[in-house]
Structure 1
Amino acid sequence: MSEETWLAARLIPTSGINGADEQERRATSALLAVMSAVREFGRSLTQPLGAPAGPVQTFIEVPFRLGDGKAFPDGLIRVSRGQRQWTALVEVKTGSSELQTEQLERYLDIAREQGFDALITISNEIPPVPGQHPTAVDKRKLKKVALHHLPWSEVLTAAVMQKEYRGVADPDQAWVLGELIRYLEHPRSGALEFSDMGPSWVPLREAVNAGTLRPTDPAAVEIAGRFDALVRFAGLKLGRRLGAEIVPALTRRELAEPVTRTQALATQLVAAGAMTAALRIPGAVGVLSVTADLRAAKITCQVDVEAPREGRPTTRVNWLVRQLKEAPETVRLESFAAYSRGPGNAELLKVVRESPGILIGDPSKEIRSFRVAANSPAGTKRGAGRGSFIDSVLAAIDGFYEDVIQNLKPWMPAPPKLRSPDAVVEPEPVATSLVSTAISSQDGPEV
């Protein structure tokens, strides 16, 4: 047998995983061990949750007595610095397993009795809004104990960004973190990607096409939440490639009250048969907006760009077109004039390249902004794979960033130029007719 068929020994092997319990136990132990061994990675996960910047200690299946019985949370994390100590229980789910309300409330009671600070849950469930928990629990149990949730995709993103972009000081620790990344990326690890729009997807899509979807239909709220979760997952996945933290573009109210965001998206779905979300990418020229139109079966990605503040209208259009030399000809451009309402002048990039003036409506009005958009077909299947809605959204976002957004730069005015020292400045003649002879308080006595 040739050496090409030999399997390299791995620190965290995926072989030998028998059943969901073994999968969950191995993922928990691997993650917590690497958090303790790789200092930078442990801090990247615990500091945003309120832990101090200190050594991370981790344990698995710690027994606690609650009432007449015993409970075994999947793990425990303790971070100490000086006199301060931060402790959190950990509950982990892998594969398609979901967090259970009764179990979480029992662990919250244990944390409160023990004086712990938080309960951290890790699963493949992705809340639509960052900071929101996918499982509803009794609010009264959260008065003294914080409840945090980390999707596996977010854990993987944090690991990749720490190793590939932020860096790990110790080479051996960097190798250990790389082994965790290899493990989590393996299909048998149980750390799955977003792969299902839910059982309500097909009935809802049929109701949208038939025009029978109503605001009281619970499927509208469910699919609206899953769409936000899908866009958030797309941001995490794109962020791993860019080495940047990409987050959903939400208002302060939507972050404080996630229910309002989901309800507004469900209302849009009922009224227009479409759903819209946005991603904020560091350093990008604008926010990436994505709209899924279920009636037209298309995905639209767009970005708004501020036009240059000087130059003729044709010059401003050419400034944008020059930056889109690698973009497909089917990209749509739209210009908006100052103090104008309604839609602007729109045309495909292929036409604008030949006739830039087609985006100029009234030459006397100043162009203030542009909109660059691209359409792609939307899949219909609820799962992942060819012809699925999930893959069509992910491909549309990645493709639009690669073809359009990463090539766009904001306009900057030219810096002022130094005047030549040899230049002769002619004094301006004083107009005698403008000299005032009226008496002023600044005049002194006449000599």
Structure 2
Amino acid sequence: MTKGANVGLATLSEDTGSVIVSLGWSSATGDGDADVSVLLLNADGKARSDADFFFYNHPAAPDGSVQLLGKTPTANGNEDRISLDLTAMPADVQQVVVAASRYGDDRFGTLEDLRLTLADGSGENLLAFPITDAGVESAFIFGELYRRGEEWKFRAVGQGYETGLGGLATDYGIDVDDADEDVDAPEVEEEGAAAVADVPAASAPGLEHEPVPEVPVLPDGAAATESVPEAALPVKRPRTAKKKVTLPKAPRKSLAENDSWRPSRLFPASSLKSDHERETRATSILLSVMAQVPEFGRRLTAAFGAPAGRMETFTEVSLPHGETPKRPDGVIRVERAGRLWTALVETKTNGNPLKGEQVQDYMDIAARRGYEAVITVSNDVALEGSPLVDVKIDGRRKHKVALWHLSWAEVTQQAQMLIRHEGVGTAAHASLLEEFLHYLQHENSGCHGFQNMGPAWVPVRNGIDEETLCQGDQRAVQVVESWERLIRQVCLRLGGELGQKVLPVQRAKRGSDPQSRRAALADKLCDDGRLHAEIRIDGSVGILAITADLRTGKLRISLEIPRSEQGYPLSWAKRLVRQLAEAPADLHIETLVEGHGSGPRGTLEKLRPEPGDLLPKDGGQITGFRLSLFKGMGSSRGSAESGFIRSVDAAVDRFHSTVVTQLERPAARRP
């Protein structure tokens, strides 16, 4: 589409009751990012209240009409997705504005490949709107959906704001407070029903929710029934926030007499013996928790086009298919306003691969019966351009079925985000999710995520060691794909533990094909014997680099930090060493010098008494410092403690907990 053009959604697809809007971008440096936002407007073009403004601190509507699904990496950058259930949109909402904003001094002109895409309920892309004229804007309206009678239409807008998210929101009647506040919302650990409290949202641009009366502090001796003059009330406006129930940071003291007493579990895993038993139990537990905890069920299905409504789940359902009926592992049904959304579920545990013919049968059954989706769940991680199973879609069929995949690592991450960081509505739901998370992490559950580098791993390592691996070897491509799956799983795990967005950084030419990119990386692996990746942790001081040198058998985790804009070189070095007071003694610190790349280096143990050793002897201009930790990598490709995958996990965890957390973070972002 071109700027200013519009189109009716019904003319593009019959399945537009629920749509997914994706905003995408890339950057040459790999660290450019933005945040999406959505505004619901009435017939006057204004928000009905501040609750109609959805952004990173207010990501979902209670009725399910709007849900920000978060970022996913693409071949060239990031894509931020939004689920819009148009059937659930309130009748007085006439317009839905889809926008994005950058923070600090960042501008949209430094991003590349700005685009909006819209997909229907089956996941098929219906339209695309590229934006090529972005410049100094720090907020941008990509497009809008609006009503024309009973029909929803889309308009390509492409309008920018130099005043950022605050200026955009104010134009639509949102009351935004730009006060410099850096107050973290307290974690609620109490049990019982949700309550109301005066809690400021962390790192929000002052979004005020529906106000409640604030109890004033009365003078000594004043009766509680006395009226208080309006001028005596506090200037700060009240905020309303549900107390969300999360897990306590410190576990309660056990009542057991000794460590040999094992606590009872709602979902025991120790007695599981066969793969079939693990698969059956994991499917039943997953689907049951999805139905019992609405926040969790909605979180997993919204990205697949499911509406927000009453969810029921079933296991081992027999469905006719030719002479022999088929029994998918599970069925998910969601009902809203008389409309049914149905997905067939196929699960695998313990590293067992999905079977193409099995998934194909379920796709055919879903198409014939008018179901919307087939969802596969396994320990594997899906990659763009590299499907886990090949299925054929009959283009002659009018009804389209979407094929989606969930990794058990993603299921675990979503459960962690809810019960450890974002919270759920009741203590019972928190307890249920806690038991579910314990089951997933039990060594016998078989739901541990990606744990095998594949059959090509050992031959490729041997070929690199013997210098016999040649460019064009498909086994190297398989190792690059396994490495990419591993890095994405590291991001999922770390994001769930930290409660932050953690995404891999893709540095690729604009418009490059994922398979071509992986082939180029495979050729580079054959040349230098190294696997390299970068991950961005939201709120961190820089980008984490992970390098696996297959020739030396070492892992290197590193982080580059810029020098301070104030002070002198010696003060920079001293300040850095002071910040790293609790960091490991074997941490390597390297000075980055303009025009020369690297400069003086040494371990933290040797630099602590003499920080001046980091200064270039020739007086070169310091641009920053690189911090690195090294670790030997395991050789096993399985799940043993010495395995390569566990070595990467351990190395990343150690670097983040002992180095990254010691460094000062950038100022909290705000418009």
User: TM-score interval w.r.t. the shorter chain?
Assistant: 0.7 to 0.9
For the residues of structure 1 that align with 2:515 and 2:340, how far apart are their CA atoms? 34
Determine if the alignment matches structure 1 residue 148 to structure 2 residue 386.
Answer: no
Shift of 1:392: 1.9
Summarize the Cα distance change of 1:97–1:364 in structure 2 as closer, same or farther, 3 Å threshold.
Answer: closer
Q: Shift in Å at residue 132 of structure 1? A: 5.7
Match of 2:547 among 291, 294, 302: 291
Task: Name which of 53, 66, 72 aligns with 2:321.
Answer: 66
Aligned equivalents of 2:536 and 2:267: distance in 1?
35
For residues 275-286 of structure 1, what are the structure 2 equivalents within 5 Å? 275-286=531-542
Quick check: 1:13 aligned with 2:268? Answer: yes
Q: Secondary structure at the match of 1:71?
A: coil
Is 1:217 matched up with 2:509? Answer: no
With over 3 angstroms needed to count, the CA separation of the structure-2 counterparts of 1:86 and 1:250, relative to structure 1, is: farther
Deviation at residue 76 of structure 1 after TM alignment: 1.5
Counterpart for residue 368 of structure 1: 623
Aligned to 1:429: none
Residues in 2 aligned to 1:311 and 1:155: alpha-carbon distance in whole angstroms: 47
Check the 8 A contact 2:451/2:638 in 1, yes or no.
yes
Give 1:70 shift: 2.2
Instruction: Please point out which of 455, 460, 465 is paired with 1:199.
Output: 455
In structure 1, the partner of 2:381 is: 126
Which amino acid is 2:332 matched to? I
Once the two structures are superposed, what CA deviation does each residue of 1:154-185 show, in whole Å capped at 9, x if it has no partner? 21221122112211212122222222222222
1:264 paired with 2:520, answer yes
Displacement of 1:405 = 0.9
Structure 1 residue aligned with 2:591: 335
| TM-aligned CA distance change 1:174 to 1:359, over 3 Å | same
Q: Does structure 1 retain, via aligned residues, the 8 Å contact 2:574–2:612?
A: no
1:225 Cα deviation (Å)?
A: 1.7
- 1:30 is the counterpart of 2:285: yes
Kindly tell me: are residues 258 and 78 of structure 1, through their superposed partners in 2, closer, same or farther at Cα, counting changes over 3 Å? farther
Equivalent residue for 1:138? 392
Structure 1 letter corresponding to 2:343: A
Tell me if structure 1 keeps the 8 A contact 2:541–2:666: no
Any idea what SS the aligned residue of 2:325 has? strand
Q: 1:124 to 1:313 in 2, by over 3 A?
A: same
* 1:309 to 2:545 alignment: no
**What letter matches 1:135 in structure 2?**
V
- Post-superposition offset of 1:330: 2.5
Q: Distance in 2 between matches of 1:271 and 1:49?
A: 40
Which deviations, in whole Å up to 9, do the C-alpha atoms of 1:95-127 show, x marking residues without a partner? 232101111122112222223222110011223
2:506 aligned with 1:250, yes or no?
yes
Contact 2:385 2:514 in 1 (8 A): no
Matched residue SS, 2:297: helix
Structure with bigger gyration radius: 1
Shift of 1:134: 2.2
Counterparts in 2 of 1:81 and 1:317: CA distance versus 1, 3 Å: farther
Distance 1:400 1:8, change over 3 A: closer
| Match 2:428 to one of 145, 149, 172 | 172
TM normalised by structure 1 equals 0.82
The CA deviation string for residues 29-72 of structure 1, in whole angstroms up to 9 with x for no partner, is: 11101100011111121122232333322122233333444222
Structure 1 gap segments, 5+ residues each: 413-447
Aligned-partner residue type, residue 171 of structure 1: A
Higher-strand-fraction structure: 2
Partner of 1:108: 363
Aligned AA (1:319): R
Percent of aligned pairs with the same residue? 39
CA contact (8 A) 1:313 1:367 kept: yes
| Aligned-pair CA distance for 1:248 | 1.9
Q: Give CA deviations for 1:257-308 in whole Å, capped at 9, x if unaligned.
A: 4324432331221010010112221211111111000111111001111221
Q: 1:121 and 1:163, CA in 2 relative to 1: closer, same or farther beyond 3 A?
A: same
Would you say how many aligned residue pairs link Structure 1 and Structure 2? 409
Matched residues in 2 for 1:203 and 1:313: separation?
48
Give distance in 2, aligned partners of 1:103 and 1:173. Answer: 34
Distance in 2 of aligned mates of 1:50 and 1:341 = 52
Question: Structure 2 regions of 5+ residues with no counterpart?
Answer: 1-255
Contact 2:508/2:517 (<8 A) preserved: no
Q: Partner residue of 2:444?
A: 188
Mapped partners of 2:407, 2:504: distance in 1? 15
Alignment RMSD (CA, Å): 2.9
Q: What letter matches 1:389 in structure 2?
A: F
Q: CA deviation at 1:231?
A: 2.4
1:28–1:318 CA distance, 2 compared to 1 (3 A)? same
Determine if contact 2:539/2:666 at 8 Å carries over to the other structure.
Answer: no
The alignment partner of 1:267 has SS state of helix
Decide whether aligned partners of structure 1 residues 198 and 132 sit closer, same or farther in structure 2, where only a CA change above 3 A counts. closer
Structure having the larger proportion of residues in helix? 1
Q: Which amino acid in the other structure matches residue 563 of structure 2?
A: A
User: Secondary structure of 2:406's match?
Assistant: strand
Sort the Cα spacing of 1:229 and 1:307 in 2 relative to 1 into closer, same or farther, 3 A.
same
Residue deviations 1:117-143, cap 9 Å, x none?
Answer: 22110011223x479642233366799
Question: Among 404, 407, 416, which residue is 1:160 paired with?
Answer: 416
**Higher deviation after alignment, 168-177 or 34-43:** 168-177
Name the SS for the 1:187 alignment partner: coil
In the alignment, the residues of structure 1 paired with residue 613 and residue 499 of structure 2 have an alpha-carbon distance, to the nearest angstrom, of 38
C-alpha contact 1:75 1:91 (8 A) present in aligned 2: yes
TM-score, with structure 2 as normaliser: 0.56
Deviates more, 1:267-276 or 1:316-325: 316-325
Pair 1:381-2:640 in alignment: no
Q: CA deviation at 1:327?
A: 1.6
Aligned-partner Cα distance in 2 for 1:254–1:77: 38
Relative to structure 1, the CA distance from residue 292 to residue 99 in structure 2 (aligned partners, 3 Å threshold; closer, same or farther) is same
User: Tell me, what secondary structure is at the counterpart of 2:418?
Assistant: helix
On the 8 A contact 1:56/1:78 being kept in 2, the answer is yes
1:236 corresponds to 2:502: no
AA aligned to 2:376 is T
Indicate the residue corresponding to 2:90 in structure 1. Answer: none
User: Residue 256 and residue 132 in structure 1: after superposition, are their counterparts in 2 closer, same or farther (change >3 A)?
Assistant: farther
Question: Residue type matched to 1:240 in 2?
Answer: G
Shift of 1:220: 1.0
Match of 2:372 in 1: 117
| Bigger mean CA offset, 297-306 vs 324-333 | 324-333
